[in-house]
Amino acid sequence: MALANGLLDKEFIDCVFDEAFPRLIPTPPMIPIGMMAGEAYYMTWEGKMKSILSPRNTDRYDKGWNQLSTLQRVKEWQGVLYQEIAKKWLERGLTEDGRLVAEAEWTEQVLKPWADNANDHLQDYRLWKQQQKCNTSSADGCKKTLVTPLSSADANVPEIYKKVLNSLRKIDETGQWPSTTLKRQLVMVSTAKAKTTDDASSSTTTSTTTTIAAKPESLSMAHKKAKNNRETRTCAYAFEEGQGGASGSFSVGYMPGGINKQPKSNQLFPELVQAAFELETKLFPNRASSTIAINRNAQFRPHTDSGAGAGQSTSLIVGLGNYAGGELMVEGAEHDIRYKAIEFNGWTQRHWTMPFKGERYSLVWFTPKGCEGMRGIDLEFSL
């Protein structure tokens, strides 16, 4: 409707459907009156059930919503429905220039302000596209960058975060970082091209060439690839270290599902687990979450967390490490979380990560449904 009213450039369509663009453009709610669902088609289920499930005149199958008497009743019902919709639209009357009052108010109070904001996003998108060209060429106008230079990041680490950050770096440096689950991979941004690495040892005369597969063309293809994989858990995408690519994400603490469903990382990294839960109580003394998601160099796509919260309606997140950029976006609002913890509702609010440079860790404390009354800080280990 914004496009039809000339409030947006048609390039906005490319913006909202570009899976590689790291932002999400929230859309405004439609007018809450006078609306109905459009035609729905169930072709897959029709083939399975050998029956017509959308009312229409067809001889494809004998059973279903294709009988003339049924179609007539549907047409009569639609007529009554359209009359009720028209009554709702006309209920508040017309403006002096002949517009429906409900439509005029919605356009002025909701659509136009949203379109102004969407145009700002469109400018960001254009800059982002220009930057993609700059990454592969020396075209004119390539001085603009959307990520703050890494040199601008303060390398000092606040004392409260040092124990956790040292543990994270130790796990990374020793090559112990766990693999990422397929489900979590699918909400992470990956590299655009395949790359080949050569691993050679000075003590031998042989070398190994490893080819990392290019990411699929779309999320749907990535999901299909991940579902079909039975061997390599990190197959959904090829990841690039240190520049926004995901190198790993795992959970510690309690998880729903009983003793057999608990994270193995609890026993692998007891020092980190204890330090991370202690950090939560130092940051927010009134919180005591059951679980932590721990991410390294992970740039997440716009998403909401699966499942539901229990005992608390908010997640707590903070970023650590020597990086620039990487802001957390929550429903379009930007938050600098580098050593600045914030709470948000990860189950209902769409959130994602902006591009970054450098070494970026993030911790997300939460309590999923099924972990009521469980406190990760109460876990006991033999350190």
Average pLDDT over residues 239-260: 66
The secondary structure of residue 91, as a DSSP letter, is: T
Split at pLDDT 50, 70, 90, the class of 135 is low
Question: Cα dihedral angle (249, 251, 257, 260), rounded to 10 degrees?
Answer: 100
> Up-side HSE of residue 227: CA atoms within 13 Å toward CB?
6
Average pLDDT over residues 227-251: 50
Listed residue (252, 276, 270, 274) closest to 341, CA to CA:
276
What mean pLDDT value characterizes the chain? 80
**Distance in angstroms (rounded) separating the CA atoms of residues 272 and 253:** 11
Q: Chain-centre distance of CA 308, in angstroms?
A: 16
131: three-class secondary structure by DSSP? helix
Listed residue (326, 259, 263, 258) closest to 294, CA to CA:
263
Tell me, what's the pLDDT at 310? 65
Res. 382: pLDDT tops 70: no
pTM for the predicted model, two decimal places: 0.63
- Alpha helix stretches (DSSP H) within the chain: 11-17, 43-49, 68-90, 101-106, 112-136, 159-173, 182-185, 219-228, 265-268, 270-283
Q: Kindly list the structural domains of the chain, giving each domain's residue range(s) and its CATH number in brackets, ordered by start.
A: 11-134 (no CATH), 150-378 (2.60.120)
Distances (CA, A) of 58 to 51, 54, 72, 76, 269: 11, 10, 14, 19, 63
Bridge partner list, 315: 344
Res. 203: pLDDT tops 50: no
Res. 235: pLDDT tops 70: no
Tell me, what's the pLDDT at 218? 54
Question: Could you tell me which residue, 229 or 345, shows the higher pLDDT?
Answer: 345
Asked if 312 contacts 289 with a C-beta cutoff of 8 angstroms, the reply is yes
Listed residue (48, 282, 249, 299) closest to 160, CA to CA:
282
DSSP-derived secondary structure for 193-207: S-EEEEEE-TTSS-E
Bridge partner list, 94: 100
327: three-class secondary structure by DSSP? coil
**Distance in angstroms (rounded) separating the CA atoms of residues 107 and 121:** 19
Using a 10 angstrom Cβ sphere, with 0-12 exposed, 13-18 middle and 19 or more buried, the burial of residue 306 is exposed
Distances (CA, A) of 309 to 258, 305, 346, 351, 368: 17, 10, 9, 16, 4
